[in-house]
Amino acid sequence: MEKAAAIRDGYGKGLLKIAEDADVVVLDADLQDSTRSLQFGEKYPERFFTMGISEADMVCAAAGLASQGKKPFASSFACFLVRRAFDQIFVSVCYSKMNVKLVGSHAGLATGEDGPTAQEITDIACMRALPNMVVLVPSDAIQTEKAVTALYNHVGPAYMRMSRAPVPILYDDSHVFEIGSGYVVREGSDAAIFACGTMVSESLKAASTLESEGIKAAVINMSSIKPLDKELLLKHARQTKAVVTAEDHSIIGGLGSAVEEALNESEFFLPVQKVAVKDTFAESGKPEELYRKYGLSEEHIVSAVKRAIGKKALRH
């Protein structure tokens, strides 16, 4: 098994797993090599559509195919798919309740040297605000592969977010992905870190550092942002009374906001320490450099956990 791989690498493999269904069709906006949808296209060219640099057209074509009983997966870079085709996603997919699966690759500061216009940090907020839309952010290549099967079995609009930078492999082939479920990847009783995507691995590093200081932090992979696993969230919030969220996304509207909303709705109010991009554009650079500069690295998660534990002590 690979020790590290890009999260996007699981997408092409996942498509091949569901390809026996002749109704599965795949569309891409001229980025099929980067998104890994090309793996499907090379084997099933008659069901693969390269739409060119035309994301809005791709989304509408996918919706049209879905209206005729096909099961389309449409992919591009997250920055292009979400920002350039938002109205088409809103009207033709979500409002129309079309069975279209949208896949945005190269999301977050982990996109690195491509710069701030390509480092999509608002897509989770945009997509989870849409009625009828499912939002997934898998944490490694294997979970991405399994998520494709879950999306195939789900009927309705969905968005899956992927990243480019290699991350450690956390799961094996026995992993079962369920929409609406979170996954505990490390137990802990002093605090709970809810993370998604690349930040799950970063949170595990932080948890190891904290353990060396006598602090036991649980790490929960919230790969399903919408629907959110509220039962698992509340369980760990009540057990630890110290909650941290970690995401490679704007601090506004993403996983942290979803967790805060769920806690508020539960009548179990608890302040949440959010590790995320602080309402700013970043710059070009290596992912690890950007994570350090913009507050997403292991040490920032460690500090957030300590703040959460400190606030717990104040409440007592």
Identify the active-site residue in 2, 20, 55, 247.
55
In 3-state terms, the chain is what percent helix, strand and coil (to 5)? 45, 20, 35
Quote the CA–CA distance of 179 and 194 in Å, as a whole number.
Answer: 16
Establish whether 55 is a catalytic residue.
Answer: yes
* Largest distance between two CA atoms of the chain: 64
Nearest Cα to 29, choosing from 47, 48, 14?
48
Print burial letters for 12-40: b (CB count within 10 Å at least 16), e (below 16): bbbbbebbeeeebbbbbbebbebbbbbbb
Quote the CA–CA distance of 9 and 114 in Å, as a whole number.
Answer: 19
* Residue type for position 124: I
Take residue 222 and report the two structure tokens written for it.
């919230």
Burial of 228 (0-12, 13-18, 19+ CB in 10 A): buried
Quote the CA–CA distance of 19 and 77 in Å, as a whole number.
Answer: 22
* Residues designated catalytic: 55
